[in-house]
Amino acid sequence: MKAIVVHQYGGPEVLKFEDYPDPVPGAGEVLVRVAAASVNPIDYQRRAGLTKDFYPMQFPGLIGVDMAGTVVEFGPGVEGFSVGDQVFAMADNTYAELCVVKADVLAKVPKGLDLIRAAAVPLVTVTGNQLSSATGVGAGQTVMVVGAVGSVGRSAVFTAKERGAAVIAGVLQRQMDEAKTIGADQVVATDDAAAIANLPPLDAVADTVGGRTAEKLIAKVKPGGVFASVVGAPQNAAKYPSVKAVFVFSKFDSKTLEFMAEAVRDGKLAIPISQTLPLSRAAEAQAAAEKGGIGKILLVA
């Protein structure tokens, strides 16, 4: 098969489109012909060696965690899937024409959701759902989602609304108009000191950005409230011992994935896609993703 092969840590230029041995499914595993993968921060952080302490690479090796495709075959003990099923998952080594996935994290793409677009859904929507859920908010409570126009942020806003909470979308001033389309009850500019100062006490914060913004916002959480983040606790968290700081690292969950994908299919949750490129142009895709912006980048195998 063709795949994006990494021989050493480095910049986007280390991503090489090469031949690589076909994977073989073992017990409880499914072999999928990949239709598309999506680019996520964990992909380029791993390529650069920034995650080698907890998520190292073996060279030559593959990267990628999001995938949508079609079942080709499966190993012993797999039930519930048939050859030809359209599936998607958070997996490993997805920048490739073929990928082996554990059956217990694989989900069928909901009917009506385009297979290519489905590749944008797994990591960001499951992470956003789990981030929002980690705050524990429900009816009668208020949560601020920071970085709300990003794909994880949008998913956190949707989940918090589904839980009955009031949601404040925290975004940069230049993102205010975009943020008014994502279903939050209120939009606040996190780079406006006056707007931050005027925030009401919050039951929770669901954070996707960290840094100085997080340090300012933890001060707005009520005693007994929760500051949940996908990038780690604020540097000043120790000054607020009455606030519970929670680090959220996304876990594979096929049921959550199916729920969030149905929301995307039904138009309740929008995950913008900014570019679709062939797999061979993964280096270009990662370089673009590292510059930031709104919208997922897809790699079509």
* CB neighbours of residue 274 within 10 Å: 12
State how far the Cα of 215 lies from the Cα of 240, in Å rounded to an integer.
10
Cβ-contact 62, 279 below 8 angstroms: no
Q: Is 151 exposed, middle or buried (0-12, 13-18, 19+ CB in 10 A)?
A: buried
pLDDT computed for residue 112 by the predictor: 97
What's the distance, CA 16 to chain centroid? 24
What is the full per-residue pLDDT of the chain (301 aa) written as tens digits?
999 999 999 999 999 999 999 999 999 999 999 999 999 999 999 999 999 999 999 999 999 999 999 999 999 999 999 999 999 999 999 999 999 999 999 999 999 999 999 999 999 999 999 999 999 999 999 999 999 999 999 999 999 999 999 999 999 999 999 999 999 999 999 999 999 999 999 999 999 999 999 999 999 999 999 999 999 999 999 999 999 999 999 888 899 999 999 999 999 999 999 999 999 999 999 999 999 877 999 999 9
pLDDT computed for residue 289 by the predictor: 95
Q: And the tokens for 224?
A: 């007994």
pLDDT computed for residue 13 by the predictor: 97
> SS3 for 184-244, per residue?
CCEEEECCCHHHHHCCCCEEEEEECCCHHHHHHHHHHEEEEEEEEECCCCCCCHHHCCCCE
pLDDT computed for residue 294 by the predictor: 75
Q: And the tokens for 277?
A: 């490129």
The whole-model pTM stands at 0.95
For helices 254-265 and 122-135, the axis angle rounded to 10 degrees is 110
Task: Look at residues 64, 124, 125, 133 and name the one whose alpha carbon lies nearest to residue 100.
Answer: 64
